[in-house]
A and B are shown apart, each in its own frame.
Chain A
Amino acid sequence: MSNVDLSVKVGTLTFRNPVLLASGTVGYGSEMSELIDLNKIGGIVTKSLSLKPRKGNPPQRIVETPSGMLNAIGLTNVGVEVFLKEKIPFLKKFDVPLICNIAASSVEEYVECTKILTEEETIKAFEINVSCPNVKEGGLQFGNDVSAVGKITEKVKAVTDKPVIIKLSPNVSYISEFAKVVKKEGGDAVSAINTLVGTSFDIFTRKPKIKNITGGLSGPAIKPVALAKVLEISMSVGIPIIGIGGIMNWKDVVEFMIAGASAIQLGTVNFIDPAAAEKIISSLEQYCIKNKIEKLSSLTASYNL
């Protein structure tokens, strides 16, 4: 055992390490639990939940792009009721903080979902998805609108005592404006970034490879964009940041923390190497030992510009 302290704080939330698994890349935990020890992970963010089950978009939903992938899943999910009845009992077995991601088509639906889910003690915080690029209603319609993001933050905060994290879209000119309004309306943290809108064509049929025409770009291709957005927020808004975007290894984690992230989420890498989180956590510990860093959290916003 080393004396390195890997724990981090995001507002009032404490995680045993900064490595969380991003919404939509860990399902509701059951499949992933066959491949990694969830008790070692910093936290889990569930697949986006809506009030009613959502079927999602027709195929093709996924296409690979250089160093990345486009997805247009369309927020397929079991809905709040089934989640509480069928998914929570399994997740209760693990000693891992559970953050519930909520996606909705209206302010009222965000509020209603939060009201119901906040009663469940296993859920430690909410991540509000105002930035899904793949659904017609909600999603980016909110994510591109500063006042809508402010209103959602305010209304959701009013119905829960648990921390509320707003997941921001990178498809805006100034992401810091959105982080500012989240802070002003009482939001506890922001997650940055959701996917970037992208597309890809079949040059023979001239059709988009994704049925939804556009999808959300993720993977290492977006890491520099994500880092710049995290830095922008960090330099201008005093709000805790959970960094997301193309993290593949422990070095990427360190980079995000230096740029301003208090914790991070792994997304696309979970599809490629489901054990990535465990490997990254142990490598982060080695990095701290070698560089005589006692508290990993001291890296946050330690940039030297």
Chain B
Amino acid sequence: MFVIDATVEKSIELDNQIYLLKIHSPQIAETIRPGQFLNIRVSDSYYPLLRRPFSVCDVEDDFFYLMFNIYGEGTKILANKRFGDVIDVLGPLGNGFNYNGDYDTAIIVAGGLGAAPFPFLIKKLPQDKNVYSFIGGRTFKDVIIHGMKNILTATDDGSLGYKGTVVDLLKVNLPMLNSSRIKIFGCGPNAMLRSLKEFCIDNNLDCEVSTESAMACGFGICQGCPIESVDNPDKFLLVCKDGPVFNVKDVII
């Protein structure tokens, strides 16, 4: 964990107001793992005041990528960053995905901007793993396939792919994947994660999810990002430090 100035290389606008910011920082590129995040100060002013947490979307040579949409003041400022602009980055933070292990098929389940951490994960997966990406959104505009492999899509309104939730799509297709050694990696809105958790537990599937929370510091001192633990009802876990990636069996979402 360190604080470093990183230089923006370019801002890329994907379809439907999704932005990719390519940022130069050999130190971050070298140390970050899939599923970890950075806490970014978008300006020196007092508004916005706090850093903004972003999972790292991808890493390429000495560069890392952030994926976001314009949601508030912070992301508006970030979307306007251009070549040469310097941003203050704190990281790498959090634990990241456990992607080495005894399974042969990795299944990505992403809802909306929950797609953000997966291009990097897919790149880092060992060569011998099969990958399927189940990508969902409310409408076709919310489906983000950037950096995904073997894609199946679902939308609530049926405007792209399967009509229904991405977890329903997974239920329908799981038997056809023909593997009993599956590991699921999920990220998306809490409603999606809850339904994914239920499905994985019912079907005895190993599943890790990347969670999200409002937070201030990003490294455990503000205690602002609690998440309920299954094992110990007397103590919260922290999304920033104990997560953001959790096995679905360990947390109440």
Listed in ascending order, the chain A residues whose CB lies under 8 Å from chain B are 24-27, 31-32, 34-35, 47, 53, 55-64, 66-69, 71, 73, 76, 219-221, 248, 268, 270-275
Contact = CB atoms under 8 A, between A and B. Distances in A.
Q: Decide if the interface of chain A is mainly helix, strand, loop or mixed.
A: loop
28 contacts: A27-B221, A31-B220, A32-B221, A34-B1, A35-B2, A53-B235, A59-B213, A60-B214, A61-B224, A61-B225, A61-B226, A62-B215, A62-B222, A67-B49, A71-B222, A71-B224, A73-B223, A73-B224, A76-B226, A219-B49, A268-B49, A270-B217, A271-B221, A271-B222, A272-B50, A272-B51, A274-B217, A274-B219
Contacts of B224: 61-62, 71, 73
A76 B41 CA distance: 26
B49 A31 contact: no
A226 to B, nearest CB: 15
B143 interface: no
B46 interface: yes
Nearest to A64: B50
A76 B49 contact: no
Contacts of B51: 271-272
A47 B223 CA distance: 10
A35 B1 CA distance: 8
A62 B216 contact: yes
A66 B47 contact: yes
A60 B236 CA distance: 13
Nearest to B50: A64
A25 B222 contact: yes
B1 A248 contact: no
Nearest to A65: B49
Contact of B236 (A24, A64, A76): A76
Contacts of A59: 213-214, 225-227
Given A76-B236, A272-B41, A24 B48 contact: no
Contacts of B228: 58
A32 B219 CA distance: 9
Contact of A272 (B49, B215, B235): B49
A271 B217 contact: yes
A75 to B, nearest CB: 9
B214 A63 contact: yes
A71 B226 CA distance: 12
Given A59-B213, A62-B216, A270-B217, 14 more contacts: A31-B219, A32-B221, A34-B219, A53-B234, A64-B49, A68-B49, A69-B216, A71-B224, A73-B223, A73-B224, A221-B46, A272-B51, A273-B3, A274-B90
B3 A275 contact: yes
B214 A220 contact: no
Interface centre among B41, B46, B48 (most CB of A within 10 A): B46
Q: Which of A26, A271, A273 has the most CB of B within 10 A?
A: A271
Nearest to A71: B224
A169 B228 CA distance: 31
- Smallest CB-CB A-B distances: 9 pairs: A62-B224, A271-B216, A271-B217, A27-B221, A67-B46, A31-B220, A73-B223, A76-B223, A220-B46
Contact of A56 (B88, B221, B223): B223
Nearest to A30: B220
A31 B3 CA distance: 13
B3 A35 contact: yes
